[in-house]
Structure 1
Amino acid sequence: MLKEIPRSGYHFLGAGEESVAEHSFMITFIAYAMAQMDPAVDALKLISMCLVHDLPEARTGDLNYVQKNYVASDEAKAVRDTIQDLPFGPTMAQLIDEFRMGESRESLLARDADQIAFILDLKALSDIGHSPPQKWLPTVLQRLKTDTGKLMARKIMETEWDEWWLKNYVDRPA
């Protein structure tokens, strides 16, 4: 179901799109990189937390900042309904709760990974000529809490969105 639910914030940017499943994959991959940068962190916990952090949205949808002013989702009920018959359900619920609380090292990194995924999208849109991301980037960059997240974001902002692709590009004659 998460593949079918679009992330709603892109409406405000006027460009870009992403499903909740794509977003979850993206932050999970970012978390993997963070765990390599910070070996003291519990990598499995961090990666698992990122994988399940938006699972309630399979039932509630993805409410953007404007919608949240008018509609409240019952995420706790969505989590309970999702995990009710799963033997590992309580572990999933605990990971989601820990992410929401934002107090553990892993949850702070996971929350930064969530923001970094957005920074990557905003940077890519900006690099290809869209101007609305320039309004959002300063705010999103200020949300980062960990040194690891801030370092990643700094490197992202210093790098063109397609540099990884063009770095070893060689134009060969046909």
Structure 2
Amino acid sequence: MEREFDGEGAVGVARLLFEAGSLRALPRTGWRQDGIPLAATETVAEHSHRVAVIAAALAALEGADPNRTALLGTLHDVPEARTGDLTPLTRRYVTAADPRKVVADQTAAAPSAVRGLFADAIAEFEEGTTPEARCAKDADKLDCLLRAVEYRAAGVPAVQGKIDRCRAALTTASARRIADAALALDPSDWQVAPA
């Protein structure tokens, strides 16, 4: 165990974990603009969970590292514990902090191994140049598309624009195929056992 992981380092990690846990209570704000009541919106933590699952699947299909890609999907929104969930519309009017700077502050009291893990993951996701980052970014958009399809199935018609924008933003062939398949399904079809 590295020397810096003493009482102070453990406190730094514990604080980071409590902060990451706060994402359980942070609603994804863009859905309110689509007419979804705040009580019915997913949280950032719920979103990040499915992003990680999608990211691993996309990476396996695209020949990228599923473990690394799932990590990027898991950590990509940790900075939102400090900045909030800013929508593309909001970003037109508000300058958002660079997630790399935010995560540096979030992990400042943690041991260097943890600081490096988070810094590298957030930088890779933000830069979007590796196959893993491209899959993780597509997973982020694909989760939004899937959630919009779920809302549409529940009778919310205002989400079609979000579905179209998310579909158009996908860059990998696998994500586009999955999106097209999802658009043809009822979100509850998974409950029917294959024959």
Secondary structure at 2:64's aligned position in 1? coil
Match of 2:156?
Answer: 130
Is 1:117 aligned to residue 140 of structure 2?
no
Cα distance in 2 for residues equivalent to 1:142 and 1:77: 29
Match of 1:33?
Answer: 57
Is 1:99 aligned to residue 146 of structure 2?
no
* Residues 145 and 167 in structure 2, CA contact (< 8 A), matched pair in contact too: yes
Letter in 1 for 2:24: K
Structure 1 residues 64-111: Cα deviation after superposition (integer angstroms, max 9, x where no partner): 223212222323331111121233211211111111111111111101
Is 1:65 aligned to residue 88 of structure 2?
yes
Cα distance in 2 for residues equivalent to 1:50 and 1:76: 15
Structure 1 residues 24-59: Cα deviation after superposition (integer angstroms, max 9, x where no partner): 101001112223333x21111101111110111011
Letter in 1 for 2:27: P
Secondary structure at 1:3's aligned position in 2? helix
Q: Deviating runs (4+, > 4 A) in structure 1?
A: none
Letter in 1 for 2:155: G
Match of residue 46, structure 2, among 2, 22, 31: 22
Letter in 2 for 1:101: E
Match of 2:134?
Answer: 108
Cα distance in 2 for residues equivalent to 1:91 and 1:7: 25
More off after superposition, 29-38 vs 106-115? 29-38
| TM-score (norm: length of structure 1) | 0.89
Alignment: residue pair count: 167
Cα distance in 2 for residues equivalent to 1:154 and 1:89: 38
Cα distance in 1 for residues equivalent to 2:161 and 2:91: 21
Cα distance in 1 for residues equivalent to 2:80 and 2:55: 20
Secondary structure at 2:57's aligned position in 1? helix
Is 1:12 aligned to residue 9 of structure 2?
no
Give the unaligned 5+ runs of structure 2: 1-21
Match of 1:158?
Answer: 184
Structure 1 residues 139-168: Cα deviation after superposition (integer angstroms, max 9, x where no partner): 211100001111111111121111112x14
Cα distance in 2 for residues equivalent to 1:158 and 1:32: 23
Secondary structure at 1:2's aligned position in 2? helix
* Residues 50 and 143 in structure 2, CA contact (< 8 A), matched pair in contact too: yes
Letter in 2 for 1:117: D
Secondary structure at 1:90's aligned position in 2? helix
Give the unaligned 5+ runs of structure 1: 169-174
Higher helix proportion (structure 1 or 2): 2
